[in-house]
Amino acid sequence: MRFASIASGSSGNCIYIGTDHTHILVDAGISSRRIEQGLSELGVKPSELSGILITHEHSDHVGGLGVFSRRNEVPIYTTKETFGQILRFKNLGQIPEDLYREVIPDEEFTIGDMRISPFSIDHDAANPCAYRVDTERASAAVVTDLGNYSQYTVSHLLGLDAVLLEANHDVHMLEAGPYPYYLKRRIMGNKGHLSNDSAGRLLGDILHDGFKKALLGHLSRENNYAELAYETVRLEVTMGENAYQGADFDIAVADRDKMSEVIYI
């Protein structure tokens, strides 16, 4: 399995997961041109995609979906509530409804040689979900846009080889920053975004001896920076109630605007 972030940040998200036989995207929140450029770097043609998994309807996750889906006729997988909201966005243009495939959280489905496990997340959207992808030999997950997590979340992430995990903001930067009060409350609320500290605690809960790679993603441009997210998450792992140190595992930060390294698992 290959796993890479084409873009991950508060301004746009698009993650690639692929095998020799199956290629999918998680979210399409950047322009169709940028998606196609990213796929080209990976040696994948848009026509080879088997599906786009949409986590929720916010623009940084669906901004390029209209043009890309119309141009390439790739099936769109998401919850019916999310798809209903997407259809209301006039700026996306017409979304071909015949490409829609319904996702129900906690009901597994398959795409090619991948087993997809969608699970609910707490975010201020219609019916958002995160995705775990398993093959016979590897497993990865994309988990962003959740204001908090529980044992339910952890249970869906046990035994992973790799994860792209939200580390959206530093709490102190957000509190002292220029955002209006209501937006600060939203981001830090139970249906907002994971802070660096929370991301580190969640990562500590799912680490195991066979874990290979964590990519920290969905960083806020205004309320975080890569080095701070990296060091905070490593420190939380080290201080957490687990058997590991932050330096025991490969942790990196996904760039907002550029392709990450390609992770082979």
Q: Tell me the C-alpha distance between 220 and 167, whole Å.
A: 8
pLDDT bucket at 96, cuts 50 / 70 / 90? confident
The structural domains of the chain, ordered by start, are 2-264 (3.60.15.10)
Residue pLDDT, tens place only, 239-252: 998 889 999 999 99
* DSSP codes joined into one string, 43-94: T--GGG--EEE----SHHHHTTHHHHHHHH---EEE-HHHHHHHHT-GGG--
- The pLDDT of residue 26 is 98
13-55 pLDDT, tens per residue?
Answer: 999 999 999 999 999 999 999 999 999 999 999 999 999 999 9
| Mean pLDDT of all residues in 226-243 | 95
| Residues 89-102, mean pLDDT to the nearest whole number | 91
Tell me which amino acid residue 206 is: I
Residue bearing tokens 């036989």: 21
Q: How much is the mean pLDDT over the chain?
A: 96
The reported pLDDT for the residue numbered 171 is 97
Letter for the amino acid at 148?
Answer: N
**Alpha-helix runs per DSSP H in the chain:** 32-41, 59-62, 65-72, 80-87, 151-155, 171-176, 181-188, 196-206, 226-239
Phi, psi of 133 (to 5 degrees): -125, 125
Q: Is the pLDDT of residue 253 over 90?
A: yes
Evaluated on CA atoms 65, 193, 152, 260, the torsion sign reads: positive
Q: Give the pLDDT confidence of 112-158 residue by residue, as tens digits.
A: 999 999 999 999 999 999 999 999 999 999 999 999 999 999 999 99
What pLDDT is stored for residue 97 in this prediction?
Answer: 87
C-alpha separations of 240 from 116, 155, 203, 232, 244 in Å: 30, 18, 10, 12, 8
Question: How confident is the model at residue 90, as a pLDDT?
Answer: 86
pLDDT at 94 over 90: no
- Structure tokens, 260: 């990450």
What pLDDT, on a 0 to 100 scale, did the predictor assign at position 154?
98
